[in-house]
A = this chain, B = another copy of it.
């Protein structure tokens, strides 16, 4: 911005930054949901071992990667390349979802859970993660055809999960 920019110019310049703000917000919310999820999983765990730490590291890798596809999406949304950007963004969550599935398999198969965790909870989480993986994969394919529809499918999954998390606590 030139040094003589008025308050009006600055407000307009800030408003034009909405894609970056959206990317910041999107990264934050996606990472927050993963963190709360992660925090919830750790409450169920009794002990850890090296395979567990590698599986946990794989999840953390994906969490730290999220800001990059989010920035790509923010830059291309509403422009010709938006389908590739949306597919890259949602595709990241396909891999993140695989990481959560691997983590849960590692944790349950190696007997790292507290004894007080009932089998029904183990099954419910396993199914929720498998369901998430399928929805993310389908949303990625949808995004290749139409970016907005793919993103809407992805977003509705997040809202569904947040509502589930709220209800579980009541």
Contacts and interface: CB of A to CB of B under 8 A. Distances in A.
A80 B32 contact: no
B50 A32 contact: no
A84 B5 CA distance: 10
A85 B1 CA distance: 13
Given A14-B72, A51-B169, A25 B61 contact: yes
Contact of A10 (B32, B65, B84): B84
B10 A76 contact: yes
Contacts of A40: 50
Given A32-B54, A165-B50, A81 B25 contact: no
Nearest to A80: B6
Given A25-B61, A54-B162, A61-B28, A11 B49 contact: no
How many monomers of this chain does the complex have? 4
Contacts of A60: 32
Given A50-B165, A168-B50, A6 B36 contact: no
A93 to B, nearest CB: 16
A7 interface: yes
Contacts of A72: 10, 14
A5 B36 contact: no
A88 interface: yes
B39 A81 contact: no
A55 to B, nearest CB: 11
A166 B36 contact: no
Interface of A: 1, 3-11, 14, 24-25, 28-29, 32, 35-36, 39-40, 49-51, 53-54, 57, 60-61, 64-65, 72, 76, 79-85, 87-88, 144, 162, 165-166, 168-169
